[in-house]
């Protein structure tokens, strides 16, 4: 009995996953399939970002550097896309429409860019307008510095808050011991800007001489999911851990999320890089995964097409080829469920304007879930 108890405790510690209050939350592998999976866009390689124009057509970024307009079943490649630095995890990444798009026409993008100092590339935020299947009025809003030839941890997702500020994420670029904890350096950060790229006067570090003024939070590893909570308006993110320790975080002004000083993960070799999972003054995640699921893309379910899922959080899994539904009570995860199990490597998951769930799958395209009832 003693051996069985030890094995049971080990199993719970390995699978479990969240703050102490969520240690008992298990992943349900049951997929009731109260929906069918319908292909919307086929023959895509790595569809990183997707956004919907007011007419219901889609803009899709391909990591390799192309921007696709999908309308009435046809794909058109948009011209005048800026030069994209493609290396490792870097390339053409997210796309988001300005909250007042119908009035101003602004579309926001993140991509890896070789502009600026040093060899290689780093993440850049731009905006542009769309006219006659071409980008016009292209403006650079922020470019992380310096460039690096490393291929990992570019981020990057975009979200707008209720006040119209634009948030975007940039990973630590594989330099964990220098970038994330240093607010005088880019990378390993969540940034907040005015919609024109200027720095809000109430950003947390605007009065610190050497700080990067656009930083809103720091101590991040590689955030590849970002969404605004539909009720509270708070910005939520998730980020890749190393081996274990993928996290969901609620972003707070000026907060330190601890990477790499605290973590629930270990090196890919299995060795430890820290013995600490918490420190005073550092944020704890809302949830964390051990083992890692390699999260990418996230959104909240609203709109009533999936009544049992309403208000809960969707997170894509690159590693395990499914979408995870995290059931929430406020900011506490109280349940987990696999949906679209086996769909493929999920690069993004978003709720469309029709309130249906859209899933971008590497090497395939974009599918959506159609409720049976």
What is the per-residue pLDDT across 178-199, written as a single tens digit (0 to 9) for each?
A: 999 999 999 999 999 999 999 9
Q: Which of 201, 229, 233, 231 is nearest to 214 (CA)?
A: 201
Residue 2, pLDDT above cutoff 90: no
| Alpha carbons 186 and 373: distance in angstroms, whole number | 48
How many alpha carbons fall within 13 Å on the CB side of residue 31? 15
pLDDT on residue 147: 98
The mean pLDDT value of the chain amounts to: 93
Q: Which of 329, 321, 246, 336 is nearest to 27 (CA)?
A: 336
How many alpha carbons fall within 13 Å on the CB side of residue 154? 30
Q: Compute CA 83 distance to the chain's CA centroid, rounded to the nearest angstrom.
A: 22
CATH 3.40.250.10 fits 19-371, yes or no: no
pLDDT on residue 23: 52
pLDDT on residue 7: 35
Instruction: Give catalytic residue positions.
Output: 153
Residue 12, pLDDT above cutoff 70: no
What is the per-residue pLDDT across 316-366, written as a single tens digit (0 to 9) for each?
A: 999 999 999 999 999 999 999 999 999 999 999 999 999 999 999 999 999
pLDDT on residue 134: 98
Q: Quote the percentage of the chain above a pLDDT of 70.
A: 92
pLDDT on residue 26: 83
151: left (phi over 0), alpha (psi -120 to 50) or beta: alpha
Residue 5, pLDDT above cutoff 70: no
Residues 6+ away with beta carbon under 8 Å from 118: 145, 146, 147, 148
What is the per-residue pLDDT across 41-50, written as a single tens digit (0 to 9) for each?
A: 999 999 999 9
Q: Which of 116, 117, 99 is nearest to 108 (CA)?
A: 99
Beta strand pairing call for 58-62 and 67-71? antiparallel
Weakest-pLDDT range from 17-31, 176-190, 292-306, 328-342: 17-31
What is the per-residue pLDDT across 141-190, written as a single tens digit (0 to 9) for each?
A: 999 999 999 999 999 999 999 999 999 999 999 999 999 999 999 999 99
pLDDT on residue 373: 77
What is the per-residue pLDDT across 211-254, written as a single tens digit (0 to 9) for each?
A: 999 999 999 999 999 999 999 999 999 999 999 999 999 999 99
- Whole-model pTM: value is 0.93
DSSP string, 212-271: -TTEEEE--S-EEEEEE-TTT--EEEEE--SBS-EEEEE--TT-B--TTTS-S-B-TTS-
Q: Where are the domains of the chain?
A: 19-371
């Amino acid at each position: 009995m003693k051996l069985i108890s030890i094995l049971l405790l080990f199993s719970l510690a390995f699978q479990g996953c969240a703050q102490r209050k969520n240690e008992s939350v298990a992943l349900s592998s049951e997929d009731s399939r109260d929906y069918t999976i319908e292909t919307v866009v086929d023959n895509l390689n790595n569809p990183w970002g997707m956004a919907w124009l007011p007419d219901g057509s889609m803009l899709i970024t391909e990591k390799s550097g192309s921007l696709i307009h999908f309308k009435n079943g046809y794909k058109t490649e948009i011209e005048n896309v800026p030069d994209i630095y493609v290396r490792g995890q870097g390339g053409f990444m997210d796309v988001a429409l300005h909250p007042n798009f119908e009035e101003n026409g602004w579309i926001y993008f993140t991509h890896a860019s070789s502009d600026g100092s040093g060899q290689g590339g780093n993440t850049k935020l731009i905006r542009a307008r769309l006219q006659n299947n071409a980008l016009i009025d292209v403006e650079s809003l922020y470019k992380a510095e310096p460039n690096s030839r490393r291929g990992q941890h570019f981020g990057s997702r975009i979200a707008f808050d209720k006040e119209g500020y634009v948030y975007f994420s940039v990973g630590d670029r594989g330099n964990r011991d220098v970038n994330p904890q240093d607010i005088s350096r880019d990378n390993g950060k969540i940034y907040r800007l005015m919609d024109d790229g200027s720095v809000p006067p109430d950003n947390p570090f605007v009065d610190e001489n050497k700080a990067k003024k656009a930083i809103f939070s720091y101590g991040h590893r590689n955030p590849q999911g970002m969404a605004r909570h539909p009720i509270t308006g708070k910005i939520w993110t998730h980020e890749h851990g190393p081996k274990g320790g993928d996290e969901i975080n609620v972003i707070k002004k000026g907060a330190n999320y601890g990477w790499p000083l605290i973590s629930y993960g270990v090196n890919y070799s299995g060795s430890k890089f820290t013995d600490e999972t918490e420190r005073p003054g550092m944020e704890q995640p809302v949830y964390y995964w051990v083992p890692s699921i390699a999260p990418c893309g996230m959104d909240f379910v609203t709109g009533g097409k999936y009544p049992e899922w309403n208000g809960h959080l969707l997170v894509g899994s690159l590693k395990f080829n499914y979408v995870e539904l995290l059931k929430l009570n406020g900011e506490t995860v109280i349940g987990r469920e696999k949906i679209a199990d086996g769909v493929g490597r999920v690069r993004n998951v978003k709720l469309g304007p029709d309130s249906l769930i859209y899933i971008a799958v590497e090497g395939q395209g974009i599918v959506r879930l159609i409720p049976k009832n």
